[in-house]
A and B are shown apart, each in its own frame.
Chain A
Amino acid sequence: MATKEFKAPEMLRTGDPTGFCPGCGHGTVGRLGFEVLDEMGLLEKSISVYDVACDSLYMWAIDTDCVGTAHGRAIATAAGVKRVRKDCPVWAYVGDGASYSIGFQHTVWSAVRNENITVVIINNGVFGMTGGQMAPTTLIGQKTTSSPAGRRADVNGYPMDITKILTGQDIAYLARGSIDTVANINKTKKYIRKAFEKQMNNEGFSLVEVLAPCPTNWGLSPHDSLERIRNEVMEVFPIGEYIERGVK
């Protein structure tokens, strides 16, 4: 009798529950990365590099080699780790606030240098850990604790779209996924798999941004947070593959 199992990697199932809020997207996006590493037989050798924000809560929940970095420095640190541990799959698992504001130079320059690392960025549209302040990805009109009347384009500029900023860069891979539906979660997992495969083929920089809910700071139920991604966030940040060297 053939069996098919839908089962998270053991360390996720048996470790302490994560510290993420109910319905938070970090639990799902991180799992996709660990599932891919597990399926590729790379989990043991992998090195995860976290930022100080909510993603760092993984350090208390799971048992893989990891580095906890200062806010905004995860991508630069991952590049350094990879340079000295070339045989290990190295990924930076980071928030959008960290990657697109305080650590933006590392995001761009690691791409320009085509560092052979994988970067997964959680686009939840806010600085989650510090209480939901406006991030570069906050949508126009979105109310946050630091934009209580809603983001205004004339004062704060437009939401930052990494796929536009990295257009034309000679990197291995760039994609944006979403975790609002089962189908999109499966698609996002394929993107993350490709990103790690490119790193293992020494093709250089791969980045997957993932649209994810932060129900706590959006002031919405988990259900309504997924609806918001579908109806509002994906309009501004379309999902799909943007750069794949040798393909387009």
Chain B
Amino acid sequence: MAQIIYDKKRCKGCHYCVDACPKKIITVSGELNDKGYEVVEFDEAQCIGCGSCYTICPDYAITIIKED
């Protein structure tokens, strides 16, 4: 079980996380944030809490809390 905290306003739409997620549960959403960047969405229920998206994100937009 993992909790995903996604701060959309920090996202710049690079979508590195989409490629980095080993479970492929991050997708481009079609939604724009206030700056006009296309943000992503997560299928939180499938998240394994590996932190790959956190690690690859250049903008500190993602926090992952993994509970075992």
Chain A positions within 8 Å of B, measured between CB atoms, are: 1-8, 12-13, 17-18, 20-28, 31, 181-182, 185-186, 215, 222-223, 226
In the complex, the answer to whether A223 meets B58 with C-beta atoms within 8 Å is no
A25 to B14, CA, bound (A): 11
Residue of B nearest to A27 (CB): B58
Are B58 and A28 touching (Cβ within 8 A)?
yes
The contact of B56 among A8, A20, A28, A215, by CB within 8 Å, is: A28
Q: Which of A3, A223, A226 has the most CB of B within 10 A?
A: A3
Check B63–A7 contact: CB distance below 8 A. yes
Contact present for B58 and A182 (CB under 8 Å): no
User: Cβ of B19: which chain A residues have Cβ within 8 Å of it?
Assistant: 223, 226
Contact A6 B60, CB 8 Å, known A22-B37, A23-B14, A222-B15: no
B-chain residues with CB within 8 Å of residue A21 when the two chains form the complex: 12
B interface list, Cβ under 8 A from A: 7, 9-10, 12-16, 19-20, 37, 49, 51-52, 54-60, 62-68
The verdict on A2 contacting B58 (CB below 8 Å), with A22-B13, A222-B14, A222-B16 known, is: no
- Interface contact A5-B63, CB-CB below 8 Å: yes
Complex CA gap A185/B59 in Å reads 14
In the complex, which residue of chain A has the Cβ closest to the Cβ of B21?
A182
Q: In the docked arrangement, what's the CA distance between A185 and B57, Å?
A: 11
7 closest A-B pairs by CB: A27-B58, A6-B51, A6-B54, A23-B14, A22-B12, A222-B14, A8-B60
Q: List, sorted by A's number, 5 A–B pairs whose CB atoms are closer than 8 Å.
A: A8-B60, A17-B9, A22-B13, A22-B14, A23-B14
A185 contacts B49, CB within 8 Å?
no
CB distance from B5 to the nearest CB of A (A): 8
Given A182-B52, A182-B56, 8 extra CB contacts under 8 A: A6-B49, A6-B63, A7-B54, A8-B63, A23-B12, A23-B58, A185-B55, A226-B16
A24 to B7, CA, bound (A): 18
* CA of A110 to CA of B62, assembled, Å: 37
**Shortest CB distance B45–A (Å):** 18
Residue of A nearest to B10 (CB): A17
Please judge, given known A-B contacts A1-B68, A2-B68, A22-B14, whether A27 and B55 are in contact too, CB under 8 Å.
Answer: no
What is the bound-complex CA distance between A12 and B51, given in angstroms?
17
> A28 CA to B57 CA in the complex, in Å?
7
Using Cβ atoms and an 8 Å threshold, which residues of chain A touch B64?
Answer: 5-7
If A23-B12, A23-B16 touch, does A186 touch B63 (CB 8 Å cutoff)? Answer: no
Closest CB-CB distance, B13 to chain A, in whole Å? 6
Most buried by A among B14, B59, B60: B60
